[in-house]
């Protein structure tokens, strides 16, 4: 599947984007092991989250989906999951496989986790290591999926100093900590998204967090509740980028999650001169939300603070495009984690931007992007949803039409992306295959 995008004059608009993927995954998992019913509103009905939903059903949880974004879960409690009859296919989702590895490590049965070609090429040793310290036995293919998890009940509690900042690893250990005897402690080297901690508290669990140290006591039962999923800031970032790059646009994105562990993208863009403001701040349960207003801006390159990397780790493809449109050069460092995402995002973005006339220098854990003008052309997303959407937005201000190849994965996180861009008057067309 391809996007074919023409240079476009965007107009003022008020839009919405789909629900937060990170929150949706966690709501399914925690609702499943809670006592009583959990209702989820604003659920992201993308392929990744549907894969997690199917996995929880396979583990014996009754889950109903009366509408695409509405979910009802009859929780089975901490020890009510049952062994699945076959392996659990998590598709393209690193979040699902890593968090489920933690959850299933505390069960009294064996589980097998797999995914698509992209997922089975991604490293899992960073999550395997602490879970094995807790007593689980996890078989892998040289540290990559498929994973076979021989659970242990109860697990051992541990004090774990994470070598790299990772919300997925932290969350996996916290979920396993529910099944450990005693208190599990995690120290993270930099702040990462804290959706798991917030949702655990909303379900009645005691989770302490201070000074980069998070603690949870094992054996705590969760209580089902109503979870309202905010719009995903990572998805909103593409619409924000389109507004920033446009000649003259004023765009409001409604009901966006602005959890402070996720807003590094806003901080970085504002440092580059972006006109971004948060309006009508409020809360959906434990999660802060706001309407995000973005006006077209002249961006200025510079050195991106490495301390903000963990707060914007999923948004670097859009940051690369913003840097390419900015004046001067932008220097990224400390972003080596991007090389083991759905694609090697440093290499994939560098190659895509070069194909559109932008000068990019790569290093092992960074890049230097020189601002310029996007030419027309053809680029490959390498099946990476965030790369595909970032390059599609770049194409709206290119000098000629741009074709982005291999974009089917966009549906994993932002179903309706092309319609949302068209609401801003972008000229984007979806082509099923090259022969069409």
Q: Which residues contact 318 (CB under 8 A, 6 or more apart)?
A: 237, 238, 240, 241, 265, 386, 389, 390, 393
Active site residue 89: no
- Edge-to-edge strand list for the sheet holding 250-257: 13-15, 250-257, 287-295, 275-284
What are the angstrom distances between the C-alpha of 50 and each of 28, 268, 351? 10, 32, 31
- For the chain, how many residues are written? 436
Collapse the DSSP code of 298 into the 3-class scheme (helix H, G, I; strand E, B; otherwise coil) and give the result. coil
Rounded to whole angstroms, how far apart are CA atoms 147 and 394?
38
35-41, strands of its sheet edge to edge:
62-67, 70-76, 35-41, 226-228
Helix (H) or strand (E) holding 128: helix 125-133
Of the residues 48, 314, 380, 418, which is catalytic?
A: 314
Closest Cα to residue 124, out of 102, 104, 103?
A: 102
CA 166/CA 191 separation, integer angstroms: 9
**Hey, CA dihedral for 280, 282, 284, 289, is it positive or negative?**
positive
User: Under a CB-based contact definition with an 8 Å cutoff, are residues 384 and 401 in contact?
Assistant: no
The residues annotated as belonging to the active site are 314
């Amino acid at each position: 599947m391809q996007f074919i995008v023409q240079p476009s004059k965007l107009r003022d608009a008020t839009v919405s984007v789909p629900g937060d993927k990170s929150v949706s995954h966690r709501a399914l998992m925690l609702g499943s092991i809670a006592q009583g019913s959990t209702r989820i509103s604003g659920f992201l009905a993308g392929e990744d989250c549907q894969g997690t939903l199917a996995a929880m059903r396979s583990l014996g949880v009754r889950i109903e989906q009366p509408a695409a974004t509405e979910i009802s879960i009859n929780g089975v409690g901490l020890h009510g999951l049952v062994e699945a009859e076959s392996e659990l296919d998590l598709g393209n989702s690193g979040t699902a496989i890593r968090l489920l590895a933690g959850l299933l490590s505390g069960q009294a049965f064996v589980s097998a986790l797999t995914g698509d070609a992209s997922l089975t090429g991604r490293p899992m040793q960073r999550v395997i290591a602490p879970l094995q310290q807790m007593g689980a036995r996890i078989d892998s293919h040289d540290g990559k999926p498929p994973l076979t998890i021989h659970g242990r009940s109860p697990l051992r509690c541990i004090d774990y100093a994470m070598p790299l900042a990772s919300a997925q690893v932290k969350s996996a250990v916290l979920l396993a900590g529910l099944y450990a005897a005693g208190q599990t402690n995690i120290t993270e080297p930099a702040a990462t998204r804290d959706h798991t901690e917030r949702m655990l508290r909303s379900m009645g669990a005691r989770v302490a967090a201070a000074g980069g140290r998070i603690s949870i006591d094992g054996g705590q039962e969760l209580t089902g509740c109503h979870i309202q999923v905010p719009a995903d800031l990572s998805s909103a970032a593409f619409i924000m980028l389109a507004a920033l790059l446009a000649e003259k646009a004023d765009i409001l994105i409604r009901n966006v999650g602005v959890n402070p562990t996720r807003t590094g993208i806003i901080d970085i863009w504002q440092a580059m001169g972006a006109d971004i403001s948060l309006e009508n701040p409020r809360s959906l349960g434990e999660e802060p939300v706001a309407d995000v207003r973005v006006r077209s801006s002249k961006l200025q390159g510079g050195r991106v603070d490495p301390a903000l990397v963990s707060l914007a780790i999923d948004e670097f493809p859009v940051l690369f495009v913003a840097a390419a449109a900015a004046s001067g050069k932008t220097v990224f460092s400390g972003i080596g984690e991007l090389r083991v995402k759905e694609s090697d995002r440093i290499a994939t973005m560098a190659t895509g931007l070069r194909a559109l006339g932008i000068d990019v220098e790569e290093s092992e854990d960074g890049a230097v992007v020189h601002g310029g003008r996007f030419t027309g052309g053809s680029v490959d997303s390498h099946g990476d949803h965030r790369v595909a959407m970032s390059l599609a937005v770049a194409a709206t201000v290119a000098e000629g039409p741009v074709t982005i190849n291999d974009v089917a994965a966009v549906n994993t996180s932002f179903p309706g992306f092309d319609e949302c861009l068209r609401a801003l008057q972008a000229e984007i067309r979806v082509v099923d295959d090259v022969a069409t």
